[in-house]
Amino acid sequence: MVGAVRYRVEHETRYAYDAPVSQSWQRARLTPRTLPWQKLLVHAIDIDPRPDERHDGPDAFGNTVTHFGLHGAHRRLRVRMHGEVEVGARPLIVEAPHAWESARPALRQASTALDLDPARMCEPTALLPLSDAARQYAAPSFARGRDWLAAVSELMHRIHDEFEFEPGATTVSTSVDEVLHQKSGVCQDFAHLMLACLRGFGLAARYVSGYLLTEPPPGQPRLMGVDASHAWVAAWSPQHGWVEFDPTNDQLADQRYITLAWGADFADVVPLRGVILGGGTQVMDVAVSVMPVEG
C-alpha cells in the first residue's frame, strides 16, 4: 500500500487465580482484521499453559475468533498476541451532501441487496437497549433535512466537549443513561453513547475495537506495555458507506487507528472471554503496546 505505516502490536492478558482452575474454555478476538486499507503481515497468539484444544474461525461479524480450552489444573493464564500490521489511508470522504433521514430507507434497500450489515447495526442489543435519554441528547444535532455527515460529526464533537474522560468512573456494565447522567467515562462509554444516539434515530452504526498510536510526552521515549485498547464508532450512509468517528478524541479515524474487531456493542468484541471451573478469586492484568516500525 502506497504511503502505508507499519506497526508492531503486542496485547498481553494475564490471569492469576488464588485456587486451581480445573477447566477453562476461552474465546480470544485478538486477530486484527484484513481490510482494504489494513494488511496483517505477521501474527501469533501464544497461550501459556499450552491449550489442550485450539481452533480459529469467524464469528457472525467476520472477526477471527481463537477458541481454546485447558483441561488440566492451572493457577495462571497468559495470552499474548503479537504481530505487525500495515495501515494505509482510508477511503476519502467525498462531498456528497444528503439529508440524514435518507439513510433510513436506504437500509431496507441494502438488506434486499443481501448487504445485511447496515440493517442489523441499527437494532437494539442487550447491552445497548433503545434509550430515550440518548435520543433526546442527540436531537439538537439531527434537525430535519440536515446533512448526514454534518449531523454525525456534530454529535461526535458534542460528546467530546461535554463529557470528561475519567478512567475508573464506569464499568463494563455501566448503562448509557448512567453515562449521560454523570457526564464522564472512557472510550467504551463514549462509543456506546454515540451508538445509542444514532440508533435512536434509526441510523446504522457499529462498535469498533482496536488500537490507537499514542504519542509520549515531548522528550520522553515511547514505552512498552503502557498503551490500551481503544474503541470508536463506524456510522453508515448510502453515499459514504462506513465512516469511522472517534468521540473520545473528536476526530475521524486515520492511519494511527488499527482495527481489531467490530460488532453491535462491546460484548461482540471482548478481546478475551471465557468460562472457568474453580479458580476462586482472580486478578487480571493487561498490557498493550503499539510501536511504529521504521523503514
Q: Is the same domain home to 49 and 113?
A: no
Tell me if 3 sits within 8 A of 48, measured CB to CB.
Answer: no
Tell me if 78 sits within 8 A of 13, measured CB to CB.
Answer: yes
Number of domains comprising the chain: 2
**Burial class of 77 by CB neighbour count within 10 A (0 to 12, 13 to 18, 19+):** buried
Mean residue pLDDT of the chain comes to 92
User: Is 192 part of a structural domain of the chain?
Assistant: yes
Q: Is 139 helix (H, G, I), strand (E, B) or coil?
A: helix
Q: Is 208 helix (H, G, I), strand (E, B) or coil?
A: strand
**Cα(144)–Cα(100) distance, rounded to whole angstroms?**
8
Q: Is the same domain home to 181 and 43?
A: no
Tell me if 231 sits within 8 A of 187, measured CB to CB.
Answer: yes
Q: Is the same domain home to 165 and 232?
A: yes
Q: Is the same domain home to 28 and 109?
A: no
User: Is 262 part of a structural domain of the chain?
Assistant: no
pLDDT at residue 114, rounded to an integer: 45
User: Is 259 part of a structural domain of the chain?
Assistant: no
User: Is 264 part of a structural domain of the chain?
Assistant: no
**Cα(295)–Cα(275) distance, rounded to whole angstroms?**
42
Higher pLDDT, 126 or 221: 126
Q: Is the same domain home to 111 and 236?
A: yes
Indicate the Cα dihedral angle 46, 51, 53, 58, nearest 10°. Answer: -30
Task: Please write the tens of the pLDDT for every residue from 50-76.
Answer: 999 999 999 999 999 999 999 999 999
pLDDT band at 225; cut points 50, 70, 90: very low
pTM of the model: 0.93
Average pLDDT over residues 96-103: 92
Degrees, nearest 5: CA angle 242-246-248: 160
User: Is 63 part of a structural domain of the chain?
Assistant: yes
Q: Is the same domain home to 182 and 142?
A: yes
Per-residue DSSP letter, 136: H
pLDDT at residue 295, rounded to an integer: 67
Average pLDDT over residues 82-96: 93
DSSP H or E segment with residue 181: helix 176-182
Q: Is the same domain home to 117 and 194?
A: yes
Q: Give the range of the structural domain holding residue 44, as residue numbers without chain letter.
A: 5-88+270-292
Find where cell 437494539 sits: 124
Res 144 pLDDT > 60: yes
Q: Is the same domain home to 120 and 78?
A: no
pLDDT band at 38; cut points 50, 70, 90: very high
Task: Please write the tens of the pLDDT for every residue from 169-190.
Answer: 888 889 999 999 999 999 999 9
Q: Is the same domain home to 155 and 28?
A: no
- Count of residues in the chain: 295
Q: Is the same domain home to 43 and 156?
A: no
